[in-house]
Amino acid sequence: MDTRLSDLLAALPAEDRAEEIFDSEGAQERLKAIFADLAYRPVPVHSLHRLWTLSELSVQITLAYMSLWFRQLTADAETRQQRAMETNLRVALKMVHRLGYLRGAATKLGQALGALPEVMPRQIASTLDMLHFQAPPMHFSLLREAVRNELGKDPIEVFATFDKEPFAAASIGQVHRATLKSGQAVAVKIQYPGIARAVEADLRNLMALMFPMRLTRQWESAKEQCRAIQEMLHQELDYVREAQNMREADALFAPEEGIVIPRVFDEVSTARILTTEFIPGLQLNDFLASDPPQSLRDSFGEKIARIYYRMCFASLNYGDPHSGNFVFMDHGRLGLLDFGCVQHFSSQEREVFPLVEAFVDDPTLLPKVLLDGGFATEADLTNEDFMKVFEQYWSWFAEPERFDGAFDFGDESFFKRGIERTRDVLLKGYTAGAPMYVYLSRSFFGHRALLLRLRSCFNERALYRQEVATRLAREGKG
Amino acid sequence: MRITAEAKTATRERIIEVAARLFTKEGWENTTTRGIAVAAGIATGTLFNYFESKEAIVAALISEALERAEEEIQKRDDESLEEELFTFIWTELASLREYRKFLAAAAETILSPLRRYARKSPGDSIRTNHLEAVEQILAAHGVPAPVPTVTMQLYWTLYLGVFGHWATDDSPKQEDTMALLDQTLKLFIAALPRSGGDTHGHQIK
């Protein structure tokens, strides 16, 4: 199938006809065509069910879709249409199930939804529940030939030592420990052959499947969001881009700040292989199991918050702050891994930062922030309920930034309040906005969830102000 | 005048080399044994002393690749059945990489599953040698002998599918075929009779 997503997007009618699209014969035909195409795919047999070692990317794809699905589900209250939507969603999920490497995503998503069952219609949750995923690694022969394809030599020739067993699953491949001939310990991330192109092709199909399902008024913004997601995924598949992200991020932190971003070894890296410095340390679970003192919990939490603000303000938003990407090192240093999901903002998008800063200082500026930031229309501002929901949501966001003194992120009721308020925004379909918010909100929630698990307590207000000052200094406005 | 063994080998190699060049340049269909003989600077009759047809020349190329694949798996010692089969097939395909352009066309006649198998045809020798090598690999990994005919036929069918995909695969360095081979071998291994006397093999769902 050679159809490009951009062609499909261009061919779609304008937003006021969105409902017709859903019912139109054209949409039905398009769906049929997609499924006819899928019918040619091999049906998974036995171990093929568990072929792919994939997690992060798939989770990202699915979560990103979810943000769209949420809106589809909630933007139109009419029951008949909602039911039709759920049916289509189930169809889409079955399709996800057949695309081997997305299955892991579906499972993780199912687990996430298990925690928030009231957000999703019950049927959808139960469909997700039935999906299972367990992935064996690429065996060494396949891996060796994949490396030979990329670097022209066997891994045992390229490296001084090379562990045959992977030590971690990567988004679309796996990670092996190795040593360079210089003696440097490294982590080598290797993609499953052909997966990048397969993911992109399937993504086009999934996108095409989703478009007839669109019912909301916010058609244009959905298109933009899809473009943003596509761009992010494209980046995830290309390790050259990821290496570039790592170098840019590394330049943002001074050594004394104790934030460690692994060095990239270009001579043994390609678009499909990424060789980086190995970062020794503990994963979050092991760190917590070691019963760390409060002071260490606080300082690590502070580093996580600093990473979030520093990178976000530098237009390198760390889009996937889940615990597996953080390494708790010795001497209180924090290592940061996986830069495949880094969001770059346009100069226009960056204009939202001063607005948010103004709001943190002065809550009465909310309407202006919402309007100028593209979160709301003039009409929304006169909608009392809309304003109430957003007031609560944004106040939650700004609460630690406004609190004078050490803020306790370990307070579960605080985090729960955030979830409830986010749910209100989602359920009411108030989530229109620029594409940047898909990942921005995820990274924001992700880092606060980490602070909760760490039970960190520190002065976020002071940290936030320092980071704003750093941003202004970088932009020459300090 | 007696022709030394070295000279014979050299002529044979030259014929294969010249033929491969012509197949690539002129196309499989457009190349004749006569054309090959002329380009190799020998009489057509001499060429027939070495190869009975252009199919036989391609068969020689493929069997050289097969030998390299067998040597390769000797070098690797600690691999599972799946890994060893993967190395075996991929090494063979990788060493034929430069001939892909004409192998697709040549394989249509030589390796077609629809062709009638005749005694001592080049296609049959490729098939027999390949399957013998595979049976040895299976035996080395404890698959009880004799392997049922249907199992070997399944292997050959899958192999031809992978070969056909590879010959026309336009993905970078045939990475799609690499993935296909990985998945295909999982399928084949799932269909193998297990050691311990289950002579009926396992049903393929």
Query: Would you put residue A429 in left (φ > 0), alpha (ψ -120 to 50) or beta?
Result: left
More confident residue, B47 or A113: B47
pLDDT in tens, B149-166: 889 988 998 999 899 899
- Per-residue pLDDT band at B201 (split at 50, 70, 90): very low
Token duo for residue B49? 């002393």
**Residue-level pLDDT at B31:** 93
Spatial separation of the C-alpha atoms in residues B169 and A411, rounded to whole Å: 57
**Residue-level pLDDT at A230:** 63
> How close A141 comes to chain B (CA, Å)?
5
Q: Do B90 and A140 touch (CB under 8 A)?
A: no
Spatial separation of the C-alpha atoms in residues A191 and A199, rounded to whole Å: 12
Chain B neighbours among A 144-173 (CB < 8 Å)? Answer: 145-146, 149
> How close B57 comes to chain A (CA, Å)?
28
Complex ipTM > 0.90: no
Of B82, B179, B190, the CB nearest to A194: B179
What count of Cα atoms within 13 Å lies in the side-chain half-sphere of residue A315? 12
Q: Which residues of chain A have pLDDT under 70?
A: 1-137, 170-171, 198-230, 232-233, 423, 426-439, 442, 478
Token duo for residue B38? 């002329």
Distances (CA, A) of B9 to A101, B3, B59: 50, 10, 16
* DSSP 8-state code for residue B194: P
pLDDT in tens, A202-233: 566 555 555 544 444 444 555 565 566 667 66
Residue B113 three-state SS: coil
Question: Is the CB of A140 inside 8 Å of chain B's CB atoms?
Answer: yes
> How close A97 comes to chain B (CA, Å)?
17
Of B86, B171, B205, the CB nearest to A141: B86
Would you say A282 and A328 are in contact if contact means Cβ atoms under 8 Å apart?
yes
Average per-residue pLDDT in chain A? 72
Would you say A91 and A83 are in contact if contact means Cβ atoms under 8 Å apart?
no
pLDDT in tens, B93-145: 999 998 998 998 888 878 776 666 555 677 788 888 899 999 999 999 989 88
**Which residue, B162, B153, B193, is CA-closest to B86?**
B162
**Residue-level pLDDT at B195:** 54
From chain A, pick out residues whose CB is under 8 angstroms from the CB of B175: 146, 149, 193-194
Q: Do B178 and A48 touch (CB under 8 A)?
A: no
Q: Do A149 and B82 touch (CB under 8 A)?
A: no
**Residue-level pLDDT at B23:** 93
Question: Is the CB of B204 inside 8 Å of chain A's CB atoms?
Answer: yes
Q: Quick check: pTM over 0.80? A: no
Q: Which residue of B has its CA nearest to A100?
A: B183
**Residue-level pLDDT at A35:** 40
**Residue-level pLDDT at A453:** 85
> How close B48 comes to chain A (CA, Å)?
38
Q: What are phi and psi of A62, to 5 degrees?
A: -70, -40
Q: What are phi and psi of B138, to 5 degrees?
A: -60, -45
3-state SS record for chain A:
CCCCHHHHHHHCCCHHHHHHHHHCHHHHHHHHHHHHHHHCCCCCCHHHHHCCCCCHHHHHHHHHHHHHHHHHHHHCCCHHHHHHHHHHHHHHHHHHHHCHHHHHHHHHHHHHHHHCHHHCCHHHHHHHHCCCCCCCCCCHHHHHHHHHHHHCCCHHHHCCEECCCCCEEECCEEEEEEECCCCCEEEEEEECCCHHHHHHHHHHHHHHHHHHHCCCCCHHHHHHHHHHHHHHHHHHHCHHHHHHHHHHHHCCCCHHHCEECCCECHHHCCCCEEEEECCCCECHHHHHHCCCCHHHHHHHHHHHHHHHHHHHHCCCEECCCCHHHEEECHHHCEEECCCCCEECCCHHHHCHHHHHHHHHHCHHHHHHHHHHCCCCCHHHHHCHHHHHHHHHHHHHHHHHHHCCCCEECCCHHHHHHHHHHHHHHHHCCCCCCCCHHHHHHHHHHHHHHHHHHHCCEECHHHHHHHHHHHHHHHCCCC
Question: Is the CB of A187 inside 8 Å of chain B's CB atoms?
Answer: no
